[in-house]
Structure 1
Amino acid sequence: MLKNTNTKVTPFGGIHLIHNRLISEGTIQFIDNELGGRASYVGFNYSDIVLSRVYTAFCGGNATEDVNYIRENTLGHLKRISIPSADTILRGDVELSTKCQFIETDSGNENKINVNSKLNKFLIRSGIRFKQIDPNDKGLVYDFDHQFIPAEKFDATYSYKKKKGYFPGVATISNIPVYIEGRNGNCNVKTAQLSTHERALSALEGEGLKPKYARMDSGSYLKEVTDYFHGKGIKFFIRANNSETLLTRAVDAGNWQTCTINFQDMEVASFKYRFGKHEHRIIAYRFPNKTGQMSAITNDAKNYLFIITNDNEISGEKAIRFYNKRGDSERVFDIQ
């Protein structure tokens, strides 16, 4: 039996379930308490702006302007929230933004970075408030990476990724973003790296989060960075850049052992290595290269990879497995 109804049908009806759950969790009050109020005459709170952005993405939107269509067909039926226009959302973005800073590299190039302490505090508190991160966890892992975001915006710059875009530094805990600093696309990842880590760790500690471990790619392979993390008592695992010194030391290492990691047969060794103010440990591992080409330094046809760490207890194999888990954090923007 057919029945006429005036109820609108939407392919995104599940957004109502999500919205109701967020309301029950006190999300609206949390956002407005953290980000503060807006002038009464504007008519929309920051919770309206933030959730409208999130819901637009959930409903297939990939640009701010998409909210105008989705609002009329789906979001406008949600209760206890006012869905603003794209223009209002963009004005809210400007209100929450901070001015960019300019830093000069050793080569004299000027790079642009953006530090937004208020929104980074909001990220951290959100992770804690919604139980994505446990401040009482004594084994928190701090993952850091620069994640390229392709974009054709007017201020996007050309990157070594062969695209225009931005290259923010992103710190995550349990794959939850907790600290983000904006950078232009052609900014060298090693530029002012220590300052970024200092701000990130300070923000985390300010909210009661004290990581026990840190995993970083070769962008953080800097003496001042290893000195900093070692001084804070954090066990770090950093991808070390290949060099003739490390390759020569690896070849001379006499403690190579075989193992299989992710279906790859390899050999693993470790040796002491002074880097910066302290003596640390290099985890070296090697496996046959695909071309069979011999190296003049190692006199073999193998790929060599290195991890520097101040953890003297962990086995080489476990160190590699632990470091490889940071691969999930590298894709956090792709997933979200």
Structure 2
Amino acid sequence: MANVAIKSERLTPFGGIFPIMEQFTSLLSSTIDSTLGLRCKLYGYQYSEIIRSLLCVYFCGGSCVEDVTAHLMSHLSLHPTLRTCSADTILRAINELARENISYTSDAGKSYDFNTADTLNTLLLNCLLATGQLKEGGEYDVDFDHQFIETEKYDAKPTYKKFLGYRPGVAVIGDMIVGIENSDGNTNVRFHQGDTLKRILGRLEEKKMAVNRFRADCGSCSEDIVDEVRKHCRTFYIRANRCCSLYDDIFALRGWKREEINGIVFELNSILVEKWKGKPYRLIIQRQRRMGSGLDLWEGEYTYRCILTNDYESSMSDIVEFYNMRGGKERIFDDMNNGFGWGRLPKSFMAENTVFLLLTALIRNFYKAIMQRIEVKKFGLKETSRIKTFVFKFISVPAKWIKTARQCVLNIYTDNHAYAEAFKTSSG
């Protein structure tokens, strides 16, 4: 058996978290406090410090807010100047930032709650501008989708997926979340979606950013939603739902063009349709021959998919390929559920949990900024690496703070000299 020597020196296994904390402070603290306002004048924690403390939970491999008090406080408090607050303070701040729900009544007389969290959605954009991930005057492609979050909170409602939860609508640019509005889990995806998109896309315009192309699934294919989207983008691409009145026209089409897209053979065609009276749009029709001998009573020997668009110039294959790329956005939801706490919501009510969704989205956006700023290959990482991989390969390194020549210096116990560059970036 090996001899063991116990050392009482204050070492931490999370040495890589300290440059992250410093970069967060340098890049975002002033933006957060100017947007949300000062939380206290003297010795209390500001919102920037509270969000940084929440960030450390997921950047150190934690899975819930309580981990900051239970496991991380003794390590994070080693930083000579930056303060870390407890889980109780984080949860109190979430309560402070929560805003009342908005209730909408359907034609059937049923009431559904939405939470728009306008200030935090504005903060989300302000932080993306502060890190340079978005720029004023830029043109961007926006994706919109709904994510059903399973949770048994006090006000969670049953979803069509047969579990209790919420149904946030999420807008994405590239790999960054730019807007979230939460709603009851039993709300129809089209119910007041036009109002949600008006607010989300309107905030982009207020920040002097233009929407070039907009993509969404068939949950956005209704007259009022399309009318609203048209006001805010140049071209839109929305999956068209099944419409009985169009099937005779589709079945009668001739001149199908055979294309291979991502290794799969399709036949493509397009027609001009007036899905809603006085509003003609281009319908891109994609069909694929069914495998096996069975025929569908509705569609026959082919499976049909359609894309409604106001793009009359792009080729059919370009439109289909562009639309199909939105499938990669599902990775963002998976990332949020498993790496940034969406699978373990901390509060009992939708208003507070909406705050949590937005704060963790801000943290993930910051993570993407970090992956662009450091030389990821020197740590065995890629820009697309998950947060857990980042914890193992960057954060988990032994370190110790020492004081020398009247300065605090962090000793990193590693043979990877890339850490010196990472600290130089954070201090610069």
> What is the TM-score of this pair, normalised by structure 2?
0.73
Letter in 1 for 2:30: Q
Letter in 2 for 1:331: R
Question: Does the 8 A contact of 1:133 with 1:174 survive in 2?
Answer: no
Which residue is equivalent to 2:352? none
1:115, distance to aligned residue in structure 2 (A): 0.9
Which residue is equivalent to 2:195? 195
Q: Give 1:296-307 correspondences, 5 Å limit.
A: 296-298=297-299, 300-307=300-307
SS in structure 1 at match of 2:211: coil
Which residue is equivalent to 1:34? 35
1:17, distance to aligned residue in structure 2 (A): 2.5
Deviates more, 1:271-280 or 1:95-104: 271-280
1:243, distance to aligned residue in structure 2 (A): 2.3
Question: Does the 8 A contact of 1:149 with 1:165 survive in 2?
Answer: yes
1:313, distance to aligned residue in structure 2 (A): 0.5
Which residue is equivalent to 1:245? 245
2:57 is the counterpart of 1:59: no
Taking the aligned partners of 2:105 and 2:196, their CA distance within structure 1 comes to 15
Question: Does the 8 A contact of 1:244 with 1:297 survive in 2?
Answer: no
Taking the aligned partners of 1:265 and 1:11, their CA distance within structure 2 comes to 52
Which residue is equivalent to 2:132? 131
Which residue is equivalent to 2:310? 310
Figure out how many residues of one structure are paired with residues of the other and give that number. 333
SS in structure 1 at match of 2:77: helix
1:234, distance to aligned residue in structure 2 (A): 2.3
Q: Percent identity?
A: 33
Taking the aligned partners of 1:154 and 1:308, their CA distance within structure 2 comes to 39
Taking the aligned partners of 2:9 and 2:138, their CA distance within structure 1 comes to 48
Show CA shifts across 1:225-274 (max 9, x none): 22233344520000110222233222222231111222221111110011
1:293, distance to aligned residue in structure 2 (A): 2.7
Taking the aligned partners of 2:90 and 2:135, their CA distance within structure 1 comes to 32
Which residue is equivalent to 2:16? 14
Which residue is equivalent to 1:263? 263
Letter in 1 for 2:136: P
Taking the aligned partners of 1:255 and 1:58, their CA distance within structure 2 comes to 55
Question: Does the 8 A contact of 1:145 with 1:170 survive in 2?
Answer: yes
Taking the aligned partners of 1:325 and 1:79, their CA distance within structure 2 comes to 46
1:77, distance to aligned residue in structure 2 (A): 1.9
Which residue is equivalent to 1:117? 118
Show CA shifts across 1:306-332 (max 9, x none): 110000001111111111121233332
Taking the aligned partners of 1:306 and 1:263, their CA distance within structure 2 comes to 19
2:52 is the counterpart of 1:47: no
Taking the aligned partners of 1:202 and 1:78, their CA distance within structure 2 comes to 40
2:288 is the counterpart of 1:287: yes
1:144, distance to aligned residue in structure 2 (A): 0.6
Show CA shifts across 1:177-219 (max 9, x none): 1111011111110100111111111111111111111001111
SS in structure 2 at match of 1:107: coil
Letter in 2 for 1:22: F
Show CA shifts across 1:132-184 (max 9, x none): 1233333x111111112222222222211222211101111122111110111
Query: 1 or 2 for the larger relative contact order (CA 8 Å, sep ≥6)?
Result: 2
Taking the aligned partners of 1:323 and 1:79, their CA distance within structure 2 comes to 49
Please report the RMSD computed on the Cα atoms of aligned residues, expressed in angstroms. Answer: 2.1
Change in CA separation of 1:312 and 1:95 when aligned onto 2, cut-off 3 Å: same
Unaligned runs of 5+ in 1: none
Letter in 2 for 1:284: I
Taking the aligned partners of 1:317 and 1:85, their CA distance within structure 2 comes to 53
2:333 is the counterpart of 1:333: yes
Taking the aligned partners of 1:255 and 1:97, their CA distance within structure 2 comes to 56
Question: Does the 8 A contact of 2:53 with 2:84 survive in 1?
Answer: yes
1:91, distance to aligned residue in structure 2 (A): 1.0
Letter in 2 for 1:260: E
Which residue is equivalent to 1:178? 178
Taking the aligned partners of 1:228 and 1:88, their CA distance within structure 2 comes to 40
1:121, distance to aligned residue in structure 2 (A): 0.5
1:74, distance to aligned residue in structure 2 (A): 2.4
Show CA shifts across 1:54-77 (max 9, x none): 110122222221211233342222
SS in structure 2 at match of 1:325: helix
Change in CA separation of 1:130 and 1:313 when aligned onto 2, cut-off 3 Å: same
Taking the aligned partners of 1:286 and 1:241, their CA distance within structure 2 comes to 14
Change in CA separation of 1:122 and 1:231 when aligned onto 2, cut-off 3 Å: closer
Which residue is equivalent to 1:205? 205
Change in CA separation of 1:128 and 1:255 when aligned onto 2, cut-off 3 Å: farther
> What is the TM-score of this pair, normalised by structure 1?
0.92
Taking the aligned partners of 1:27 and 1:7, their CA distance within structure 2 comes to 33
Unaligned runs of 5+ in 2: 337-428
Question: Does the 8 A contact of 1:145 with 1:330 survive in 2?
Answer: no
Change in CA separation of 1:210 and 1:45 when aligned onto 2, cut-off 3 Å: same
Letter in 2 for 1:137: G
SS in structure 2 at match of 1:202: helix
Question: Does the 8 A contact of 1:146 with 1:169 survive in 2?
Answer: yes
Letter in 2 for 1:30: T
Letter in 2 for 1:199: R
